[in-house]
A and B are shown apart, each in its own frame.
Chain A
Amino acid sequence: MRKMTSGVSVIGAGESPYTRHPASGTTTERVLADAVRRALADANLRTSEVDGFAACSFTLGPDHAIDLAWRLGLRLRWLMQDTNGGASAGTMLQHAVRAVESGDASVVVLVAGDLMDQQVHLKMVAEYNRATAEHLVPLDMLGPNALFALLTQRQMKAEGLTREDYGRLAVAQRAWAALNPGAVYREPMTLDDYLNAPMVAEPLGRYDCVPPVTGADAVVVAADERAAGRRRARVLTVSARYNSDDQTGDGLVTGLADCASELWDTAGHGPADVDVVSVYDDYPAMALAQLKDLGLVAGGEMPGFIAERLATRKLAVNTSGGQLSAGQPGSAGGMHGLVEIVRQLRGQAGQRQVDARLGLFSGYGMVLYRYGACATAGLLEAAE
């Protein structure tokens, strides 16, 4: 039986500013360090108070989490290195809350990020895993766009969705991004802009694909007593599924479908209770798939949900602009959504602040052959 998380909160968050064009001399470790420094400053803690550390990065090599900890001057009781890309925030948070509960650590910093210029990005997607190198790259297919074009076609057929529907989601996220100084694309976008953009792999156009950026995100996880009366984001529960279907399905159902009931049951809340949501939006189709798996929209009801809840921004989804407008900072894509939820719950979201007590984030990623195989989600609650 799963136990609800007790007495563990996220007490700080930080993001190293995203950029499409990193200045010369930028390194992965410096970007990660910048996010850690900002998260600790937000939590009003010093590095000497950190005793747990977890890191995820595609481009940190040959260094590991311990090298990074050493260069940050962290002396630790608890250390983890994660490789789950877009799902890493949930993976690391799931481990960290239990570490804090059990007393193995008292203050844990989680960080993810990458230096991601075009050259690094091409190398990463070519060498993503063995199945990619052996079975996808020889097709003259670099990167996952074509795979998610095929998946999006399946979703359009199954859910009765059109390109306009996906466009409304992208346009709504751009409108949120306009309120986020940290988003790389903030200029207004219309549905016509979306529909008339160059085709990448039909039905996916330019605005269905995330812009790779250099950046990093970090959060500080600690026992509630460390928060000492300050606003915090209490972790109610975290749930994960890995390789839920051996890549034998249509990819329209993620592992989150299996997470959902235990998430809601454990936390004693339902989908209707959520005030702010970050879902992993590597493509609009995946954002919708996760919203469905988590119970925020029922099958067959997506077009109406998009028009009435997302396009109107009545439901606060991906309020940072998401990766589609804020950018995809390599492995920090999942952490980006968690940082946004923490900021919303702690009242730090500036112009895009919504009235939020309960926040939900999800991560998704690691394309094995046909679609992603890692799925994580967590519920957090504003607390004093």
Chain B
Amino acid sequence: MSVIVQNCRTCGGQWFPARLMCPRCGGDDLAPRSIERGVVEQLTHLGDVVIASVACDPEPLLVARLHGTVETGDVVELTDRPDTSGRPVAFVPPIGRPGEELS
């Protein structure tokens, strides 16, 4: 389980959602990189839906839907597929439409 973000091969910056050029160095060599977990910074409830800000180390910051029992400050596994198994995960819809390659 993981979420694919962009990794700039020139400066090491990590981005999500997808950029066309690296905001930090202007490079366009942006490669996919898997990130497996992040820290829940804040969370809120929209009815039964739990929305959170999740910080990856060292970046990026993601907007995620939490499933299972997760609290602020927890390290949570990231997934790019909806997961209703009850395990604690943070769902982040992936870059690109189905069938499309990253960058």
Of B44, B92, B95, B97, the residue contacting A153 (CB under 8 A) is B44
- Give the CA-CA distance A136 to B44 in the complex, in Å: 14
- Restricting to B45-103, which residues have a CB under 8 Å from any CB of A? 45-46, 49, 51-53, 59-61, 63-65, 82, 91-93, 95, 97
Task: Answer whether residue A149 sits at the interface, using C-beta atoms and an 8 A cutoff.
Answer: yes
- Name the A residues within 8 Å of B65 (CB-CB): 139-141
In the complex, the chain A residue whose C-beta lies closest to that of B72 is A153
Q: Could you say which of A135, A202, A370 contacts B92, with CB atoms under 8 Å apart?
A: A135
Judged by a CB distance under 8 angstroms, whether A126 is at the interface is no
Question: A349 to B97, alpha carbons, bound, how many Å?
Answer: 51
**B42 interface contact, C-beta 8 A:** yes
Q: Is the CB of A141 within 8 A of B49?
A: yes
Tell whether A246 is near chain B: CB-to-CB under 8 Å.
yes
Chain B residues with CB under 8 A of A130: 17
- Which residues of the partner chain A approach B44 to less than 8 Å between Cβ atoms? 146, 149-150, 153, 201-204
A134 near B93 with CB under 8 A, answer yes
Find out whether the CB atom of A150 lies under 8 angstroms from the CB atom of B17.
Answer: no
CA A149 to CA B65, docked complex, whole Å? 14
A window 91-141: CB within 8 A of B: 130-131, 134-136, 138-141
B23 in the interface (beta carbon within 8 A): yes
Asked if A201 and B61 sit within 8 Å, CB to CB, the answer is no
Interchain CB contact (< 8 A) of B51 among A134, A199, A201, A247? A201
| The residue from B49, B63, B82 contacting A147, defined by CB atoms under 8 A apart | B63
Contact B93–A138 (Cβ < 8 Å): yes
Q: Determine if B63 and A139 form an interchain contact, defined as CB atoms under 8 angstroms apart.
A: yes
A199: nearest chain-B partner, CB-CB: B45
**Partner among B43, B45, B63 whose Cβ is within 8 Å of the Cβ of A370:** B63
- Kindly provide the distance from the CB of B56 to the nearest chain A CB, expressed in whole angstroms: 12
Tell me the chain A residues, 335-372 only, with Cβ under 8 Å from chain B: 369-370
Considering the complex, which residues of chain A in the window 191-207 have a beta carbon less than 8 Å from any beta carbon of chain B? 199-204
Taking a contact as CB atoms under 8 Å apart, the answer to whether B23 and A201 are in contact is no
* Contact status B93-A139, CB under 8 Å: yes
CB distance from B49 to the nearest CB of A (A): 5
Judge whether A154 is part of the interface by a CB distance below 8 angstroms. yes
List the A side residues contacting B93 at CB < 8 Å.
134-136, 138-139
**How far is B91's CA from A150's CA once the two chains are assembled, in angstroms?**
17
**A24: chain B residues within 8 A (beta carbon):** none
How far, in angstroms, from A88 to B86 measured CA to CA in the complex? 44
Give complex CA distance A203, B45 in Å.
9
A143 vs B10: C-alpha distance in the bound complex, in angstroms?
Answer: 35
Q: Which 10 A-B pairs have the closest CB atoms?
A: A149-B44, A146-B51, A138-B93, A139-B65, A246-B23, A201-B44, A150-B42, A153-B42, A131-B17, A140-B49
Q: List 30 A-B contacts (CB under 8 A).
A: A131-B17, A134-B97, A135-B63, A139-B49, A139-B64, A139-B91, A139-B93, A140-B46, A140-B65, A141-B46, A141-B49, A141-B51, A141-B63, A146-B46, A149-B44, A150-B42, A150-B43, A150-B51, A150-B52, A153-B44, A201-B44, A201-B51, A203-B44, A204-B44, A246-B23, A248-B23, A248-B59, A248-B60, A248-B61, A370-B63
